Structure 1
Amino acid sequence: MQSLDAALTMQRPAEVYFGAGTLENLAVWVRQKGFKRPFVVADPVNAARLAVLGLDSPAVFGEVVPEPDTHNLSKAVKAAGDADLIIGFGGGSAMDLAKLVAVLAGTNLALSDISGPNRAPARKVGLVQIPTTAGTGSEVGTRALVTDPDTLAKVASESLNMLADLAIIDPVLTLSVPPAVTAATGVDAMAHCVEAFTSKRSHPLIDSYALQGIQLVGKYLKRAVDDGSDVEARAGLALAAFYGGVCLGPVNTTSGHAVAYPLGTRHKLPHGIANALIFPHTLAANAEAEPAKTAAICTALGVPAEGKDAVRSAAIQFCQSLGLDMRLSAHGVPQDDLPRMAEDAHKIRRLLDWNPVDLSEQDILQIYRDAF
């Protein structure tokens, strides 16, 4: 953990509209800023409800897929044409693609030209992010991930030029999210906070956001799963996701996401459920290295526990109480691929190097076996 006086840089969208009904402000904002050719990046479900945006027949790329790859990105960039405003409308996949479309549209650049830190060019278009799930926190950040179909590795790009001009976080948009997706994305939001909270580069400033995010999930996730129309619970989760996004910028995730990534890239599990399946196991793996913070996490979730095995069991029970089947085998992950997954995960040093415990490839394989 960094000391209180350690330098830290935080970046957020210039404007954030948060709360029920704030989506109504989008059309006014677009007119005030003078944008004439908005282009929406969305998955098929959200592409079918563009009317809620209040815009006059915006152009749309409505083919965003879970765990999008470079082919999906290329199609979106081509479809953007001469748009002067990009709007990410959906979950993390749609918002990540929107960031990349905003900096690639109208250029001759490929993803390989901008991947890594601070390589994306200054964009000539506006960017708005509108989450419809409470999970990734992508609306807040400067990072985007897509999969290379040849290597099945996630390619990360990060740049201040991918930061939204406006984020609209309206919990009403999440009311229709099914219970299972609500549960998985809620655990994902919590995982962002937990991993930043226990990271080697955690910082007291970020710790405050992280712990509040975890507490919000502990208070509201079960409520939202049990009653999707509970607007207060939906707002609590939306705020938790926002806090998770705040954590990602200056600190980022660690082992949980590294171990979860192959579930998405190799077996197409949605990002939320992939992280939910792994969360209890990496929380337990790090428990002895961060006992005080682990205790605070368990208390926030209402599952006080001490010791590695007790922490794992309590976290699994928390997820199961949300209706999640916590077995990899139940989600179509083949047992014979676990060693290759462990090999892939162990290579994700940009995350694992900041984990409080040094996980070997064999350690990661054991996590997969325990989760299987």
Structure 2
Amino acid sequence: MSTMDRMITIHQPRRLEIGTGAAAKVGELAKGVSRPLVIASGPTAQYTDGLGLPGDISVIDDVPPEPDLPAFERVLERARAHRPDLVVGLGGGSVMDVAKLVAALWNSDQTLRDVAGPDRVAGRDTALFQVATTAGTGSEAGIRALVTDPETKSKIAVESPHLIADLAVLDPELTYSVPAAVTAATGVDAMAHCVEAFTNTRAHDLIDGYARMGFGLVGRYLKRAVEDGTDSEARAGMMLASYYGGICLGPVNTAAGHALAYPLGIRLSLPHGLANAIIFPHVLAFNQPVAVAKTAEVADALGLKNAGSEDALKAAAFEFCRDLGIEMQLKAHGANEADLSDWAEEAHAIRRLMDNNPRDMSVADVHTLYHNAF
């Protein structure tokens, strides 16, 4: 059934630069800036000089992979000391999420808890550039940012058009050094964004187009990028797939797959992409009975053979991920079977995502999927 008459709003970066060497344009586009702040993680700070930024540059290079509230507040305090007129996120999803929030809040009276939820950010008067160094979250394309609440062990989710980038840069050269294992996991995360939006209860014809392009690119290029990190075409294809996934997140968002992944990231300290990869085959197969045609499109795009039944689809998707070198069993990542029931309760309570799932999922269903992934 067509959904094109349902109203949605799409926010995209005001400017996108994509292609080999695109990062070198950042300095040119930052003319007139005097106090740029670069937010990075340890491995991504090495690309700062190549941006050609002008002025008094400050670099914060210790954003952790899954930042919690205290880690964010430490970055925010250092940003306030520098008083930037440009914030540059140089890294993966965690770095870019922190950069969004810093740009909006460093000179604001609002706290992170004040802006949690949709449309609570009062404004932003500091320019924001996002330079992606991985291909997974698509954070450079979107208006959401996530930080872990250490008290509740859940995600504080902020959504606002004031978090959109003035410039997004997708330069495949910046991903050449990403290890194969990280390339694989983040690539499946990008795919999951597209697939979960595609099969979502809030799916929209326009977003379906971006989703199809996204998981189609993953089917063509992810294995190549894993096998040869310097394959520029494959790296660019995966960055574009990730970007499309980021667009999907805005008006539609993800569903049960990401809800199930979040407790794994928090409780096991798994990287976000890896947690999503482990869960992906199980949720894809669970949803197949109520999204038959769309699931078949996904299976075809990924080259999943003989995947007509729920069990066969799960096995084929599992093999797809495992063939990329991803360790797909939770017990290999330190999980204890006794904890699965608690995690099921946590995942089921993430209603902002679970309510988007095309097939109703009970706590018992979640526990079963975790058990199957164990």
Q: Which position in structure 2 is the counterpart of 1:5?
A: 5
Q: Quickly say closer, same or farther: Cα 1:42–1:223, change in 2 above 3 A.
A: same
Q: Which amino acid is 1:268 matched to?
A: S
Determine helix, strand or coil for the equivalent of 1:130: strand
Equivalence for 1:156: 157
Secondary structure in 2 matching 1:157 = strand
Q: Tell me the TM-score normalised to structure 2 length.
A: 0.97
1:202 partnered with 2:200 = no
- Taking the aligned partners of 2:220 and 2:46, their CA distance within structure 1 comes to 32
Q: What does residue 72 of structure 1 align with?
A: 71
Superposed displacement of residue 266, structure 1? 1.6
Residue equivalent to 1:147: 148
**Aligned with 2:290: secondary structure?**
coil
Partners of 1:105 and 1:346 in 2: how far apart? Answer: 34
Superposition pairs for residues 1-372 of structure 1, below 5 Å?
3-31=3-31, 34-56=32-54, 58-81=57-80, 82-304=83-305, 305-372=307-374
How many Å apart are 1:267 and its aligned residue? 1.6
The answer to whether the Cα contact below 8 Å between 2:40 and 2:95 also exists between their aligned partners in 1 is yes
Structure 1 CA distance for aligned equivalents of residues 127 and 191 of structure 2 = 30
After superposing the two structures, state which structure 1 stretch, 302-311 or 269-278, moved more.
302-311
Q: Aligned letter for 1:122?
A: G
Q: How far did 1:24 drift?
A: 1.0
How many percent of aligned residue pairs carry the same amino acid? 53
| Counterparts of 2:116 and 2:298, CA distance in 1 | 34
Residue 249 of structure 1 aligns to which amino acid in structure 2? G
Per the TM alignment, residue 48 of structure 1 is displaced from its structure 2 partner at its CA by: 3.6
Question: 1:5 & 1:44 partners in 2: Cα distance?
Answer: 46
List runs of 5+ in structure 1 lacking aligned partners.
none
Separation (CA, whole Å) in 1 of partners of 2:2 and 2:101: 31
Q: Quote the RMSD (CA, aligned, Å).
A: 1.0
Task: Give the C-alpha shift of residue 195 in structure 1.
Answer: 0.1
Quote how far apart the aligned CAs of 1:344 are: 0.5
Q: Which amino acid aligns with 2:34?
A: K
Distance 2:369 2:166 in 1: 40
Tell me if the contact between 1:129 and 1:168 (Cα under 8 Å) persists in the aligned partners.
Answer: yes
Structure 2 CA distance, aligned partners of 1:144 and 1:71? Answer: 15
Q: In 2, are the aligned partners of 1:2 and 1:202 still within 8 Å (CA)?
A: no
CA contact 1:2–1:201 (8 Å) conserved in 2: no
Deviation for aligned residue 1:334 = 2.1
What amino acid is aligned across from residue 13 of structure 2 in structure 1? P
| Cα deviation, residue 49, structure 1 | 3.6
Tell me the TM-score normalised to structure 1 length: 0.98
